[in-house]
Amino acid sequence: MESKFAQHVNQEEIVEIVCDLVRVDTTNPPGNEYLCTERVSACMQSLGMEISTYEKAPGRTNVVGRIGTGTKSIGFVSHMDVVPPGELDQWKTPPFEPTLIDGKIFGRGTLDDKGSFACAYFACKAFLAEHADFDGTIYLIAAADEEMGSELGIIYLVEECGLKFDVAIIPDGGRMDLSIYGEKGILWVELESRGIQAHGSTPELGRNAIVPLAEWLTEIKTLDLGANFDRTFDGWTMNIGTIQGGSSTNTVPSVARATIDFRLPAGISKAQVLEALEAKAANVKTHSPDAELHVKVLHETAPHLSDKNSIIIRSFDTAAKCLNLPMKYETFGGNTVAKNLFFAGITSVVHYPGDDKLAHVPNEFVNIDELVLGSVLYAETLEAYFFG
Ligand SMILES: [Zn+2]
């Protein structure tokens, strides 16, 4: 590899860090990120970083390493919690016993996001080995609670603990050749249908809540939100994720609910979605006039687009070019902590030292070569950022 930083990235040590972190079960919920504190602190300490820990809830530890005193600053944001392994019989190796096969490490969190932490650590190490006297500040963050919304993690750190840096690298989305610079907004809604409970043998005495909900959902299949949106996004999506209703077969159900996950590009508003859902409810009422249908918003985030000309994206791109690494920039429908940081005034690069299709699936793995390459890429990014 044509980079002076490569000599500082020790493949054996990177594997060791990933394995040590994967071996502790930090499935969220409940999280137990404190189990990683000692290991990540040891990494940070070896770099000469000043270490702070923050807990909004017991055991939900965020570890922040800091080095440098200059005003220009950057943060690496990775997380120590992992999603549940899911069905164990789908795994070829035990999810919490990291296993090396053919240059890959298998196990839950090998990529998402413990491998990413190891990458960020080695990026700092390689950069500091070449530029011990740099004028700036680097934060290396092992956050809690990313998989369940970051309320105890980066949101807490930024909003309540006063953690602040100018820009960020988030090794938690995208691919080795793909960086994410914009994310759609999320709109979760609940559709509710109300009826009147009665005995199943005398349905005429009640009013069934399930049937109008089913009709409403059928109507929604043809929901049209128009084509008037920002074309840097690929469109809007909708997923009917849950449906619940009734208490027993021999009872007329008095309530039924469904929830829908919308992912919305800039240009399509919440009001537009709610209006379209109400219009579909009105259609249902033309043949079920007694139907009582309501929409409730459960959760929402706004779409965001980072400036592709921002210093961090330019620095990252310079680094990729320097390594002859092809890099695409896209938007997507997922939400990462980049969105929280964006609305806190911090522009990020989102990039995985691997493939995001491997996150959350059984047999999650990371390529050791990609961990090394990711470390070098991020070290080059630091150099371009501080010295470019
Ligand atoms: Zn992640």
Taking the centre of ligand 1 as the mean of its atom positions, its distance from the CA of residue 331, in whole angstroms, is: 17
Taking the CA atoms of residue 280, residue 282, residue 284 and residue 289 in that order, the dihedral angle to the nearest 10 degrees is 170
Please list, in sequence order, all residues whose beta carbon lies within 8 angstroms of the beta carbon of residue 213, skipping any fewer than 6 positions away.
Answer: 191, 192, 193, 243, 245, 256, 257, 258, 293
81 CA distance to ligand 1 middle (Å): 8
Q: List the shell of residues around ion ligand 1, using CB closer than 5 Å.
A: 112-113, 172
The beta-carbon contacts of 241-246 under 8 Å, at least 24 apart in sequence, are 243/213, 243/217, 245/193, 245/209, 245/210, 245/213, 246/209, 246/210
Burial 208-245 (b: 16+ CB within 10 A, else e): bbbbbbbbbbebbeeeebeeebeeebeebebeeeeeeb
pTM of model > 0.85: yes
Residue 316 CA to ligand 1 center (angstroms) comes to 20
Please give the distance, rounded to the nearest whole angstrom, from the Cα atom of residue 259 to the centre of ligand 1: 24
d(CA 256, CA 292): 11
> What spacing in Å lies between the alpha carbon of 117 and ligand 1's midpoint?
10
Length of the chain: 388
User: Ligand 1 centroid to 273 CA: how many Å?
Assistant: 29
Domain 6-182+304-387 has CATH 3.30.9.100: no
User: Which residues are CB-contacts of 299 (< 8 A; sequence separation ≥ 6)?
Assistant: 186, 187, 188
Identify any residues that bridge with 22 across adjacent strands, giving them in sequence order.
none
State residue 213's pLDDT score.
98
Q: Count other Cβ atoms within 10 Å, centred on residue 300.
A: 14
How many A from CA of 252 to the centre of ligand 1? Answer: 43
Question: Would you say 108 and 22 are in contact if contact means Cβ atoms under 8 Å apart?
Answer: yes
Among 2, 88, 18, 122, smallest CA distance to 367 is for 18
Q: Looking at the DSSP assignment, which residues form a beta bridge with residue 54?
A: 62
Domain boundaries, the chain: 6-182+304-387, 185-300
- Calculate how far, in angstroms, residue 366's C-alpha sits from the geometric centre of ligand 1: 13
Q: Which class is domain 185-300?
A: alpha beta
Residue 285 to residue 54: CA distance in whole angstroms: 53
**Cα–Cα distance, 10 to 122 (Å, whole number):** 8
Quick one: how far is CA 202 from the chain centroid? 49
Give residue 63 CA to ligand 1 midpoint distance, Å.
Answer: 16
pLDDT tens digit at each of 388 positions of the chain? 689 999 999 999 999 999 999 999 999 999 999 999 999 999 999 999 999 999 999 999 999 999 999 999 999 999 999 999 999 999 999 999 999 999 999 999 999 999 999 999 999 999 999 999 999 999 999 999 999 999 999 999 999 999 999 999 999 999 999 999 999 999 999 999 999 999 999 999 999 999 999 999 999 999 999 999 999 999 999 999 999 999 999 999 999 999 999 999 999 999 999 999 999 999 999 989 999 999 999 999 999 999 999 999 999 999 999 999 999 999 999 999 999 999 999 999 999 999 888 889 999 999 999 999 999 999 999 999 999 8
Distance CA 160, CA 56 (A): 9
What is the 296 CA–ligand 1 centroid distance (Å)? 29
What tens digit of pLDDT does each residue of 254-279 get?
999 999 999 999 999 999 999 999 99
d(CA 374, CA 381): 10
